[in-house]
């Protein structure tokens, strides 16, 4: 196989690849699918437990996936912030923490008073 043929085969296989959704997209798909299925069940007049168990289960799974993704994101941010603070001397670390705390308190409703 020549170099040109190898590149054509490689390009065709790249086009056929399907992008894998990330964890956040999967969570929103489960949540949205569960809400749509719940609404359709209610509109059809099906209000029994068995009619709503699967759609509400999908909503629960979607929420669980989104909360897990949020927790992972928060842990990564905490690690990055801790590493950056550890690189500072104690006085600089205290000043940075004070500035961040004041900024966050000012963002709260009634916190800028």
Q: What is the pLDDT of residues 48-66, one digit of tens each?
A: 888 889 999 999 999 999 9
Q: What is the DSSP letter of 108?
A: S
Q: What is the pLDDT of residue 71?
A: 95
The mean pLDDT value for 6-23 works out to: 69
What pLDDT score was predicted for residue 3?
A: 73
Instruction: Please tell me the distance from the alpha carbon of residue 110 to that of residue 108, in angstroms, as a whole number.
Output: 6
pLDDT band at 37 (very low <50, low <70, confident <90, very high): very high
Distance of CA 101 to the CA centre of its chain: 25
For residue 73, give Cα distances in angstroms to 33, 83, 95: 24, 16, 25
Structure tokens at 94: 């205290």
Report yes or no: 54 and 37 within 8 Å, Cβ to Cβ. Answer: yes
Q: Quote the pTM value.
A: 0.62
- CA 31 to CA 55: how far, in whole Å? 9
pLDDT at 6 (0 to 100) = 65
Q: In this predicted structure, what is the pLDDT of residue 23?
A: 87
Higher pLDDT, 84 or 15: 84
């Amino acid at each position: 196989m020549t170099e040109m043929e190898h590149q054509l085969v490689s390009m065709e296989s790249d086009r056929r690849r399907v992008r894998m959704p990330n964890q956040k997209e999967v969570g929103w798909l489960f949540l949205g699918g569960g809400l749509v299925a719940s609404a359709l069940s209610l509109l059809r007049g099906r209000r029994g437990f068995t009619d709503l168990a699967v759609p509400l289960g999908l909503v629960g799974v979607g929420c669980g996936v989104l909360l897990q993704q949020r927790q992972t994101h928060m842990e990564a941010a905490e690690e990055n912030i801790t590493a950056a603070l550890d690189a500072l001397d104690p006085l600089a670390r205290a000043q940075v923490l004070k500035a961040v705390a004041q900024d966050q308190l000012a963002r709260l409703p009634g916190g800028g008073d």
